[in-house]
């Protein structure tokens, strides 16, 4: 990635550690490390590292922490914190990113104002530095913005990334800018997904997304109900009918001067600002979670910002259909037939299968804007959560080489995903007596039939669909991820714009 303006709040220093002028030095520490693994560290803390390792007070198990004050005068730092990383063999960039989140959270709890993180592990210094600042930046997310009684959280520390070998300073600085931007954009997506339905209406979502992306140098256009109608988007309008809030279609364009004619990456995100299920209403239990049903749309908006900021070399278009799914008096009813902008007709069997409807029109519009390669991201099905759980997004699409490229990029970005099948026979489950197809295919393979529905709107272009229903929101706190919105897919989508496409 070519890199534009640098971010002032992050420094980089190439060892020695003694020179880092900070309150706290965080060090990933692996089970097979020796006290002497990091030059001067054990001496700086008066032998506390070797003592803790010998007594097994600290065993370097994953995310275990050990803090000690610096006693040696030639060190400028005041404290050292070891973050356990388990066996070193698994210390790739994904683990370093997570250790940096855990370390960052611990540092903030201790109210450290200046914090250094030693980018060590297996991988190139550039990759490690990027992953480290991504993780530290992710630790800055605060999800309690509506609390009036808690004290405000301490401002995020000034971060310093320490690299221990002599990689060219320039490439480290670029990596740090990249990681910083990707981390910040992930946090912006988390803020959007965390926002409740009563503040983040489709109009507000559109306005905030527009501000987020245009600050990154992206052109944004917001289409209102009338313009959506003129485009013939009967699926988006059909879902919006049940709500008093007007829908919006948010369109992003990254058109760098000198970009090649092809490819154009098309990013499409589900933007349901609240999903009640509509007339096929959801049970009350847990319905509040459906405020994050625009997490895919937020990922697209925030990835576009990163794409602009970091100066991706190719054209990218982003399309986010935004609406509520509500059971109003004019709402779409089971059995109703909607006509998509593409011309295909859909018999709505279940109004709670609304995401695929709005994405159908969104995919069509991305093609109309000239996209040659499509990636959509959506909190689409509970069935995907049943299949893959909470840590892996479902990947669907065609051809396999494009899906595999997206998977590889996602993996490097720290977004776990796994391919799911799309055999033609699944299409039979969407057969309708009266229209071209239905919007649901019954319980078997529910995430697959949802993807089969989307496929109808891809015009045969290379297309990957990411079902993030399980991964967009963390139900349980982990050392590397608090409860709440995760920002999944932002870094994947942004990184894709720097790839040479295999297809």
Binding site for ligand BES (CB under 6 A): 275, 293, 350, 352-355, 379-383, 385, 440, 446, 469
Segment contacting Mn ion by CB under 5 A, of 79-87, 120-128, 151-159, 353-361 = 353-361
Q: Which of 79, 108, 356, 407 is catalytic?
A: 356
Binding partner of residue 440 among Zn ion, ligand BES, Mn ion, none, CB cut-off 5 to 8 Å per kind: ligand BES
Go through 137-168 and write b for each residue having 16 or more CB atoms within 10 A of its CB, e for each that does not: bbbbbbeeeeeeeeeeeeebbbbbbbbbeebe
- Please tell me the distance from the alpha carbon of residue 309 to that of residue 16, in angstroms, as a whole number: 32
| H or E segment and range at residue 411 | helix 400-413
| H or E segment and range at residue 462 | none
User: Of 193, 194, 207, 292, whose CA–CA distance to 248 is shortest?
Assistant: 207
266, 375 Cβ separation under 8 angstroms? yes
Of all residues in the shown chain, the one whose CB is closest to Mn ion is 352
> Which string of x and - marks every residue 342-371 that binds Zn ion (by CB under 5 A)?
-------------x----------------
- Please tell me the distance from the alpha carbon of residue 366 to that of residue 258, in angstroms, as a whole number: 21
Binding partner of residue 33 among Zn ion, Mn ion, ligand BES, none, CB cut-off 5 to 8 Å per kind: none
Of all residues in the shown chain, the one whose CB is closest to Zn ion is 275
Q: How far is the CB of 440 from ligand BES (least distance, A)?
A: 4
Q: How far is the CB of 258 from ligand BES (least distance, A)?
A: 40
- Please tell me the distance from the alpha carbon of residue 451 to that of residue 408, in angstroms, as a whole number: 20
Residue 352 or 415 having the CB closest to Zn ion: 352
Q: How far is the CB of 191 from ligand BES (least distance, A)?
A: 19
Q: How far is the CB of 483 from Mn ion (least distance, A)?
A: 22
Of all residues in the shown chain, the one whose CB is closest to ligand BES is 382
Q: How far is the CB of 370 from Zn ion (least distance, A)?
A: 28
Residue 194 or 381 having the CB closest to ligand BES: 381
Sort residue 389 into left (φ over 0), alpha (ψ -120 to 50) or beta: left
Segment contacting Mn ion by CB under 5 A, of 172-180, 244-252, 267-275, 477-485 = 267-275
Q: Parallel, antiparallel, or unpaired for β 345-347 and 337-339?
A: antiparallel
Q: How far is the CB of 238 from ligand BES (least distance, A)?
A: 14
> Which string of x and - marks every residue 270-299 that binds Mn ion (by CB under 5 A)?
-----x------------------------
Residue 267: phi, psi to the nearest 5? Answer: -110, 125
Q: How far is the CB of 331 from Mn ion (least distance, A)?
A: 13
- List binders of Zn ion among 244-273 (CB under 5 A): 272
Binding partner of residue 446 among Mn ion, ligand BES, Zn ion, none, CB cut-off 5 to 8 Å per kind: ligand BES
Strand partners, 10: 159
Residue 140 or 275 having the CB closest to Mn ion: 275
Number of residues that bind Mn ion (CB under 5 A): 3
- Provide DSSP, 21-83: -SSEEEEEE-TT--GGGSTTHHHHTTTHHHHHHHTTS----TT-EEEEE---TT---SEEEEE
Q: How far is the CB of 208 from Mn ion (least distance, A)?
A: 22
379, 468 Cβ separation under 8 angstroms? yes
Q: Which of 51, 76, 203, 282 is catalytic?
A: 282
Active site residue 253: no
Active site residue 56: no
Residue 201 or 381 having the CB closest to ligand BES: 381
Residue 312 or 353 having the CB closest to Mn ion: 353
CA count, 13 A, side-chain hemisphere, 135: 33
Contact flag: residue 352 with Mn ion (CB under 5 A):
yes
- From the number of C-beta atoms within 10 Å of its C-beta (0-12, 13-18, 19+), residue 419 rates as middle
Residue 48 or 275 having the CB closest to Mn ion: 275
Cis amide leading into 283 (omega within 30): no
User: Of 431, 427, 403, 428, whose CA–CA distance to 417 is shortest?
Assistant: 403
Residue 25 or 236 having the CB closest to Mn ion: 236
Residue 263 or 485 having the CB closest to ligand BES: 485
- Under DSSP, the state recorded for 90 is G
Beta-carbon contacts of residue 220 (< 8 Å; ≥ 6 apart): 209, 210, 213, 214, 250, 251, 252, 253
Residue 81 or 355 having the CB closest to ligand BES: 355
Contact flag: residue 127 with Mn ion (CB under 5 A):
no
- List binders of Zn ion among 273-312 (CB under 5 A): 275, 293
- Sheet order of strands, 337-339 included: 337-339, 345-347, 437-438
Strand partners, 436: none
Q: How far is the CB of 68 from Zn ion (least distance, A)?
A: 49
Residues of this chain that interact with Mn ion (CB under 5 A) are 275, 352, 354
**Which residues are identified as catalytic?**
282, 356
Residues of this chain that interact with Zn ion (CB under 5 A) are 272, 275, 293, 355
């Amino acid at each position: 990635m070519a890199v534009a303006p640098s971010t002032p709040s992050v420094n980089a220093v190439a060892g020695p550690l003694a020179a880092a002028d900070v309150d706290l030095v965080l060090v990933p520490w692996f089970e097979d490390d020796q006290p002497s693994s990091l030059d001067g560290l054990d001496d700086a803390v008066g032998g506390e590292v070797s003592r803790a390792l010998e007594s097994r007070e600290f065993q370097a198990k994953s995310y275990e922490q050990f803090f000690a004050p610096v006693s040696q005068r030639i060190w400028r730092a005041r404290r050292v914190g070891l973050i356990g990383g388990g066996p070193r063999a698994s210390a790739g960039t994904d683990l370093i990113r997570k250790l940096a989140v855990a370390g960052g959270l611990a540092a903030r709890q201790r109210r450290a104002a200046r914090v250094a993180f030693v980018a060590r592990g297996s991988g190139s210094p550039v990759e490690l530095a990027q992953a480290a600042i991504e993780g530290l930046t992710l630790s800055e997310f605060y999800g309690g913005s509506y609390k009036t009684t808690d004290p405000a959280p301490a401002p995020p520390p000034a971060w310093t990334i320490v690299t221990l070998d002599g990689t060219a300073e320039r490439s480290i600085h670029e990596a740090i800018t990249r990681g910083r931007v990707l981390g910040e954009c992930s946090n912006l997506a988390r803020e959007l997904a965390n926002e409740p339905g009563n503040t983040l209406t489709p109009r507000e979502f559109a306005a905030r997304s527009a501000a987020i992306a245009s600050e990154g140098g992206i052109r944004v256009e917001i289409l209102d109900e009338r313009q959506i109608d003129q485009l013939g988007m009967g699926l988006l309008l059909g879902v919006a009918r049940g709500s008093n809030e007007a829908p919006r279609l948010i369109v992003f364009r990254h058109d760098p001067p000198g970009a090649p004619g092809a490819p154009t990456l098309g990013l499409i995100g589900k933007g349901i600002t609240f999903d009640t299920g509509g007339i096929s209403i959801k049970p009350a239990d847990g319905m509040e979670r459906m405020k994050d049903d625009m997490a895919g749309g937020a990922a697209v908006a925030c990835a576009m910002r990163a794409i602009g900021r970091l100066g991706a070399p190719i054209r990218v278009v982003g399309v986010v259909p935004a609406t509520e799914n509500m059971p109003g008096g004019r709402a779409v009813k089971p059995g109703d037939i909607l006509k998509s902008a593409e011309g295909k007709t859909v018999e709505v069997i279940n109004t709670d299968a609304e995401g695929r409807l709005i994405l159908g029109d969104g995919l069509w519009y991305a093609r109309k804007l000239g996209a040659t390669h499509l990636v959509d991201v959506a909190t689409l099905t509970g069935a995907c959560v049943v299949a893959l759980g909470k840590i892996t997004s479902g990947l669907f699409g065609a051809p396999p080489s494009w899906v595999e490229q997206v998977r590889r990029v996602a993996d490097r970005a720290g977004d776990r995903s796994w391919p799911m099948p799309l055999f033609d026979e699944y299409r039979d489950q969407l057969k309708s007596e009266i229209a071209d197809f239905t919007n649901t295919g019954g319980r078997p393979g529910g995430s697959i039939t949802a993807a089969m529905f989307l496929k109808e709107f891809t015009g045969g272009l290379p297309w990957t669909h990411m079902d993030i229903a399980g991964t967009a929101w963390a139900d349980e706190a982990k050392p590397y991820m608090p409860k709440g919105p995760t920002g999944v897919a932002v870094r994947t989508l942004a990184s894709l714009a720097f790839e040479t496409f295999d297809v």
